[in-house]
Amino acid sequence: MSHNKRLRTYPLTKAKHVKVHGRTTQTRKPLTLFWTGSGIELNIKGSELWIEIEADYQVYEPWISIVINGVPMSRLMVTAGRHWICLLRGLNPDTVKNVRVVKDVQPMSSDSRCLLQIHALKVDGELLPVTDKPLKVEFIGDSITSGEGTIGAKEETDWVPMLFTALRNYTAITAEALNADYRVLSQSGWGVLTSWDNNPHANIPAYYEQICGVLTGERNEALGAFSDYDFTSWQPDVVVVNLGTNDGGAFYSPAWTDPASGKVYKQRLNEDGTFNEEDLQSFESAIVRFLVKLRTCNPAAHIVWAYGMLGTPMMPSIYRAVDAYKKKTRDRNVSVFQLPNTTEETIGSRSHPGLSAHAKAADELTVYLREILKK
Amino acid sequence: MSHNKRLRTYPLTKAKHVKVHGRTTQTRKPLTLFWTGSGIELNIKGSELWIEIEADYQVYEPWISIVINGVPMSRLMVTAGRHWICLLRGLNPDTVKNVRVVKDVQPMSSDSRCLLQIHALKVDGELLPVTDKPLKVEFIGDSITSGEGTIGAKEETDWVPMLFTALRNYTAITAEALNADYRVLSQSGWGVLTSWDNNPHANIPAYYEQICGVLTGERNEALGAFSDYDFTSWQPDVVVVNLGTNDGGAFYSPAWTDPASGKVYKQRLNEDGTFNEEDLQSFESAIVRFLVKLRTCNPAAHIVWAYGMLGTPMMPSIYRAVDAYKKKTRDRNVSVFQLPNTTEETIGSRSHPGLSAHAKAADELTVYLREILKK
Amino acid sequence: MSHNKRLRTYPLTKAKHVKVHGRTTQTRKPLTLFWTGSGIELNIKGSELWIEIEADYQVYEPWISIVINGVPMSRLMVTAGRHWICLLRGLNPDTVKNVRVVKDVQPMSSDSRCLLQIHALKVDGELLPVTDKPLKVEFIGDSITSGEGTIGAKEETDWVPMLFTALRNYTAITAEALNADYRVLSQSGWGVLTSWDNNPHANIPAYYEQICGVLTGERNEALGAFSDYDFTSWQPDVVVVNLGTNDGGAFYSPAWTDPASGKVYKQRLNEDGTFNEEDLQSFESAIVRFLVKLRTCNPAAHIVWAYGMLGTPMMPSIYRAVDAYKKKTRDRNVSVFQLPNTTEETIGSRSHPGLSAHAKAADELTVYLREILKK
Amino acid sequence: MSHNKRLRTYPLTKAKHVKVHGRTTQTRKPLTLFWTGSGIELNIKGSELWIEIEADYQVYEPWISIVINGVPMSRLMVTAGRHWICLLRGLNPDTVKNVRVVKDVQPMSSDSRCLLQIHALKVDGELLPVTDKPLKVEFIGDSITSGEGTIGAKEETDWVPMLFTALRNYTAITAEALNADYRVLSQSGWGVLTSWDNNPHANIPAYYEQICGVLTGERNEALGAFSDYDFTSWQPDVVVVNLGTNDGGAFYSPAWTDPASGKVYKQRLNEDGTFNEEDLQSFESAIVRFLVKLRTCNPAAHIVWAYGMLGTPMMPSIYRAVDAYKKKTRDRNVSVFQLPNTTEETIGSRSHPGLSAHAKAADELTVYLREILKK
């Protein structure tokens, strides 16, 4: 290969006009990407562009997608170590290309060594400013929102990063349809009160105010993952909460015993198969508390509780809880939206919604959000 | 990252059960991949798999796709040098995964340094046999068959490897629908008589009997690209020829002057805009000659001239030529099939058929080939 | 025309094996069809079949559809008077044809002269038994359930029978997908508490226990429309209630003054545009009362409140009311199902859901009902 | 019913602004409708409209469709006798409605008593002018063009008028997409040389210059069906010929013996299953002769031989014939277009192309004709 002598290297701190997507710290030396859908975006006038990226993990390797002019061109595993990855080459040096590098996998709370960082760029031209989109949307959720199962053969059952995507995902599709910047906070298996297996610590609300509090370990602490998030830095127009699916599952899962305290947790079913009312009430109270927190953090946002891609058993509870919150607070900027259920035709891998289920959910959610945003 | 100590490295010559797709030489030390759609396939019982791959180029870098259990999971540029690429990791070690690595780009006749080779594997389990599919199909064509424009934003105009794919392509889609192994021989811009710009050397028939004669340069010669291909090694049930689009374009392009001889070549239009009959006759004779050669090389194959994804101006000529061939030879196992035209809705990047145009063409071609194969 | 001498005429009372669909009286001399989707079904082994039908009206003429072997073949206005209509002719006399005549229009409560009756049949063969479907579904609703707007140009705005259909309707499509016999009770503009314009008499629950109590006039009385319906005669497995859309509209419509009492009725909005809580409570109480009545009349049926084809403003109220009913009664066989909203692409005439909106609603409702019926 | 006293009756000769579609005679006292797709069109400003229609037949009754503002609202059998049929009523008297009455069935050459006539109108408002569309298209064909099988259950096998439609037909769909007035000349089972069963009299070209020469009998003669058609009265921009399917079938059907002369006719297969060349040549000569006749009658039209909805065995012959014609005449305004084949998914009743096959054919033909018409 003949070397491209016009390439120049810039540490991220020196590269102008690199737009960062997703909740992260202020540090750019290097930039740490925590959440799925996070990444960088740039407009390059040049023929060739590389990034220096670093990955680490004990178990779960990160994956990224590379999007050129709005279309995903490449998707790849990032193995451990520090690598230069070529994003594009050989293009007309005089045209401007929009380039995004997107983390395709959620933060892995069970693997404290997971890491994805961007150190530097190499480019043979110039970077031009990236304008913000006219709207901002935040998505909060579980495996559905993490895009688990949106790629891969239907028979795949391993819980591995390869089967997660950020882009074949209702979050990305909705944001693109709305022409919105967006952020995602999601954890597979988690709920608003407990995880699918009754673990009361695996709930998103407890960590909502941190940059990425769902992670663990000293390195993540040192990176600032557990610091308070500055909500003033990015105020969404809409917050979409897609939680409840795992809270529903907890009623059908074995009890969880806290290894520290020995305390046992269980959302109970009545003998006739209905939900225990006391436990249902705990779930509803958790929703109300989370809505209060969301409103505090996002004073002007439309809050939409969107639920239903894997069935709707918790819908009456969600309606009751949102009702209770609204009655209590007189906050009218909160609503419930039912997402379309996944069918045999639209299922993906790991018994999760596939690309077509996400596309359908995005279509319906987009229509709903457009309506809300008119008001 | 904790190292996977069970990984063992095998040079390709020592790795059992690696199925090679596409025309290439007998050498596996290393294996050279020439054509688009070529690659390797394996069934791995293990949790982790790497390949050592080597790329080189002056201008046009290779791209590959990684297919797990029939679904494309990854697509990436392979930059110059020798790299270990992880194909999968962290999967259940006890299940068998089918893995394919597919070259996404055609041989680049204008860049003699283009190279893609596989040297070795690293695996923590065992490889199991890959059975052949019950059918074999060979596709011969131009940019359409090379998948030019099957990915990327509609506004993309650069002629770069990134915008070619082997899998979002009627060849791969048809082969999958027919449950067939397949090979592709294609060159963007080439025809059966001349290229789109009247170059009489840029015709596929002249190189059909070589392993990859469309390439140039000493390294490719040393690699065996210009050696005679052994047709007995892989006899297709069907040969699909999708040529004629560039031959048609030649009538509307400037003349081409041979730099060696100074001779000028031009397919001419009459003053009234119709095709010059003498030149049309040359085109038809080229078809007849190619059919004779195809029949010699593939005595038992159904030969289908499939044409029409970018309009059908040459269709009368193609019918005449196929008629003439059949009359002359009494060979009845040859037919013409019209592929569906590309529309504004189905166009891809670089004004070429997009994924949906290829999917539609594959659907119709599949129905036709199924019918033919019944006979 | 040469006369078919094998035709014989049978008054309906003498015709064996004529299955009657829809709520009506016991009388067959003649048979009166009240509701949309009602009609007769027969299996004819013969080549030719006619019915003698009678229609009357002041304003709103009836329409019928003729369905042969499950496919609508004919749709026509029935003008005033008594007519013989040929359902089929010239068919193979030895095969059995399933034939349905379906009333395409709802009972017209504002036109007391509306009438559609079947007197007799003429057939040149024999009628064979029609077996019941394994399931029975009852649909209760408003204009959506009456199929208003499911045919005709988008720009049509006249409120006329021509623009109603029974078959391009989620009721018929769902019933066919479920392989169910079905009945429909619906009135355009009506609600569970009031009509769209605040008329408290235009509510379906008040008339639910009569054969067709929504009608008026002495002739209808004489025909038995106001008699008590015998619920034991046809017990549905599922009751789908699609009401609430007009109750929601009432909040935005002018007050209605009872011409008899002078009393004024109005569902009120608060100054801030939200629903008045007291009025909302009246709506919810009406739902609870209707559920109690539905359960009394249909002891074993799954009751599904299905709502959402023209937006979901009343959904929180509906959930609250269904919750309240379930808490009060411990009846668990009641649920809420959100139907997909109508979009610009799926809208029909008269700003009502079109055929594609009904088809989509039917698809989703069918999946939901199948799930429920498994339990 | 209360009588609409504003209705006034007009014999067709006195009704202004009634546009007649389809080849017919000059007589309007009454108007005879011969061909499928023929009919009348009017713009009515009024609330109610009736027509007086007369039908007769020995075997095959006529059917009509009623189209309001471009949408089919009604479809009905017209039984023998003279009837008043209400086309619309109760509409806003102040808006203008476009109304078409369309004959849904081809002329029945085997039933000389077939008759469909329109005598008079009754209207309570005024008729306004109907403007001509900017384009004119003539379709010539067989059962496909007659819409046989475009309605009805897949298992239907009776050859009856009920299973024919003019509107669920590629002719109507193409014409609407092109915004064209159109005419259809078609006979089920007929070809360009012979019928499917080798009858050499059942060919369309022989009757092309008459108004409706495919009919028989004295009444049709008296009505003017056999008179010369005045081609200057309506010159199409495009003539689409969809013939060849039955000519192909003739090779596989028994011989036909002329009852008059005793002469036997048969398109022969060779022993190896290929078409006999001499007989193929007769077919091709018939195409050439028909093209010559079409050009004489339609000097300025684009002539498109469109073929392929039930397979393409005759395509090489058609290409050869069109080639031969073009060589002989230097006429360049003639081309071949392959229509998409019917598949298991798109088949209708009587093993003929269904609505979706016709819609697909219309889509592709429309794109092609638009391209041609640009030139």
C375 has a pLDDT exceeding 80: no
Which residue of chain B has the CA closest to D326?
B316
Which residue of chain C has the CA closest to A344?
C367
CB-nearest partner of B340 from D315, D322, D340: D340
- CATH number (3.40.50.10420, 2.30.40.10, 2.60.120.260, 3.40.718.10) of C8-128 reads 2.60.120.260
CA distance B320 to chain D (A): 7
Give D367's contacts in chain B (Cβ within 8 Å): 341, 343
Expressed in angstroms, the distance from the first to the final Cα of chain B is 57
For the sheet with B334-338, list strands across it: B180-186, B135-141, B238-242, B302-307, B334-338
pLDDT for A1: 57
Distance CA D284, CA D238 (A): 22
* Helical residues (DSSP H) of chain D, grouped into ranges: 170-178, 218-223, 245-250, 277-297, 315-329, 355-374
pLDDT for B150: 98
pLDDT band at C1 (very low <50, low <70, confident <90, very high): low
* CB pair distance less than 8 Å for B58 and A2: yes
- CATH number (3.30.70.3420, 1.10.260.40, 3.10.440.10, 3.40.50.1110) of C135-374 reads 3.40.50.1110
* Helical residues (DSSP H) of B224-309, grouped into ranges: 245-250, 277-297
The alpha carbon torsion through D322, D328, D330, D333 (nearest 10 deg) reads: -20
pLDDT per residue as tens digits for the range C160-208? 999 999 999 999 999 999 999 999 999 999 999 999 999 999 999 999 9
pLDDT for C345: 93
* CB pair distance less than 8 Å for B332 and D364: no
pLDDT for C64: 98
Chain D interface mutation, best of B319, B356, B367, highest count of D Cβ atoms under 10 Å: B319
pLDDT band at C319 (very low <50, low <70, confident <90, very high): very high
Give D90's contacts in chain C (Cβ within 8 Å): 59-61, 158, 160-162
pLDDT for C120: 98
A3 has a pLDDT exceeding 90: no
pLDDT band at A268 (very low <50, low <70, confident <90, very high): very high
Identical fold, B8-128 and B135-374: no
SS3 C361: helix
Which chain D residues have any C-beta within 8 angstroms of a chain C C-beta? 1-2, 56-61, 63, 68-71, 73-77, 79-81, 86, 88-92, 113, 151-153, 155-158, 160-162
Per DSSP, which regions of D31-165 are E strands?
31-32, 39-45, 49-56, 63-68, 71-77, 81-88, 96-103, 115-123, 126-128, 135-141
Which residue of chain B has the CA closest to A96?
B156
Helix, strand, coil in percent for chain D, rounding step 5: 25, 30, 45
pLDDT band at C3 (very low <50, low <70, confident <90, very high): confident
Phi, psi of D9 (to 5 degrees): -95, 135
pLDDT for C86: 98
pLDDT band at C41 (very low <50, low <70, confident <90, very high): very high
Find chains touching chain B: ≥3 CB pairs under 8 Å: A, D
The domain spans of chain B are 8-128, 135-374
Cα A166 to Cα A67, A163, A174, C51: the distances in Å are: 12, 10, 12, 62
> Residue D143: which of D212, D181, D195, D103 has the closest Cα?
D195
CA distance A268 to chain B (A): 33
> Residue B199: which of B139, B294, B148, B264 has the closest Cα?
B264
* Both tokens assigned to D291: 């093209």
* CB pair distance less than 8 Å for C71 and D113: no
Give A319's contacts in chain C (Cβ within 8 Å): 315-316, 319-320, 323
> Residue C205: which of C341, C336, C60, C305 has the closest Cα?
C305
C76, C64 contact by CB (below 8 A): yes
Which residue of chain C has the CA closest to D156?
C69
CB-nearest partner of C158 from D76, D92, D156: D92
Q: Which residues contact B21 (CB under 8 A, 6 or more apart)?
A: B37, B38, B39, B40, B41, B100, B102, B181, B182, B183
Over residues A147-153, the mean pLDDT reads 98
pLDDT per residue as tens digits for the range C212-260? 999 999 999 999 999 999 999 999 999 999 999 999 999 999 999 999 9
Give C315's contacts in chain A (Cβ within 8 Å): 319, 336
B304 has a pLDDT exceeding 90: yes
The alpha carbon torsion through A247, A250, A256, A261 (nearest 10 deg) reads: 30
pLDDT for D147: 98
> Residue C239: which of C208, C197, C210 has the closest Cα?
C208
C2 has a pLDDT exceeding 90: no
Give D315's contacts in chain B (Cβ within 8 Å): 319, 336
Distance CA A102, CA A109 (A): 19
Give C330's contacts in chain A (Cβ within 8 Å): none
Q: How does strand A49-56 pair with strand A135-141?
A: unpaired
Q: Which residues contact B154 (CB under 8 A, 6 or more apart)?
A: B347, B348, B349, B354
A324, A354 contact by CB (below 8 A): no
pLDDT for D375: 74
* CB pair distance less than 8 Å for D58 and C1: yes
> Residue C309: which of C337, C285, C334 has the closest Cα?
C337
* CB pair distance less than 8 Å for A322 and C316: yes
Which residue of chain A has the CA closest to B90?
A160
Give D93's contacts in chain C (Cβ within 8 Å): none
Cα C14 to Cα B107, C18, C34, C49, C364: the distances in Å are: 81, 10, 22, 15, 42
> Residue A250: which of A190, A322, A305, A308 has the closest Cα?
A190
Q: DSSP character for A91? A: -
Lookup result for tokens 């101006």: B313
A246, A142 contact by CB (below 8 A): yes
Cα B95 to Cα A157, A345, B74: the distances in Å are: 10, 25, 20
SS3 B19: strand
A207, A188 contact by CB (below 8 A): no
Cα B1 to Cα A84, A113, B125: the distances in Å are: 18, 8, 20
Q: How far is CA C70 from the centre of its chain?
A: 19
> Residue B72: which of B176, B218, B200 has the closest Cα?
B176
Expressed in angstroms, the distance from the first to the final Cα of chain C is 57
Ramachandran region, residue C325 (left: φ > 0; alpha: ψ -120 to 50; beta: rest): alpha
Distance CA C162, CA C57 (A): 14
SS3 B20: strand
CA distance C262 to chain D (A): 32
Q: Which residues contact D230 (CB under 8 A, 6 or more apart)?
A: none
SS3 B183: strand
Which ipTM was obtained for this model?
0.97
Find chains touching chain C: ≥3 CB pairs under 8 Å: A, D
pLDDT band at B1 (very low <50, low <70, confident <90, very high): low
Lookup result for tokens 């006890």: B94
pLDDT for A226: 98
Chain A interface mutation, best of C315, C322, C366, C370, highest count of A Cβ atoms under 10 Å: C315
Which chain D residues have any C-beta within 8 angstroms of a chain B C-beta? 272, 274, 308, 312, 315-316, 319-320, 322-323, 332, 336, 338, 340-341, 343, 364, 367-368
Give A338's contacts in chain C (Cβ within 8 Å): 308, 312, 338
Q: Which ranges of chain D have pLDDT less than 50?
A: none
CB-nearest partner of B75 from A2, A74, A162: A74
Over residues A133-158, the mean pLDDT reads 98
pLDDT for A272: 87
* CB pair distance less than 8 Å for D343 and B367: yes
CB-nearest partner of A319 from C319, C332, C343: C319
CB-nearest partner of B319 from D316, D343, D367: D316
* CB pair distance less than 8 Å for D158 and C91: yes
CA distance A35 to chain C (A): 32
pLDDT mean across residues, chain C:
97
Q: What is the DSSP string of B305-339?
A: EEE-BTB-TTHHHHHHHHHHHHHHH---SEEEEEP
CB-nearest partner of C151 from D58, D73, D113: D73
pLDDT for D272: 86
Q: Could you give the count of Cα atoms lying within 13 Å of C134 in the half-sphere of its Cβ? A: 4
Cα dihedral sign for A89, A90, A92, A94? positive
Distance CA A372, CA A367 (A): 9
Cα dihedral sign for D169, D173, D174, D175? positive
Phi, psi of D369 (to 5 degrees): -65, -35
Which residue of chain C has the CA closest to D96?
C156
Q: What is the DSSP string of B70-121?
A: TEEEEEEE--SEEEEEEEE-S--TTSEEEEEEEE-S---TT-TT-EEEEEEE
pLDDT mean across residues, chain A:
97
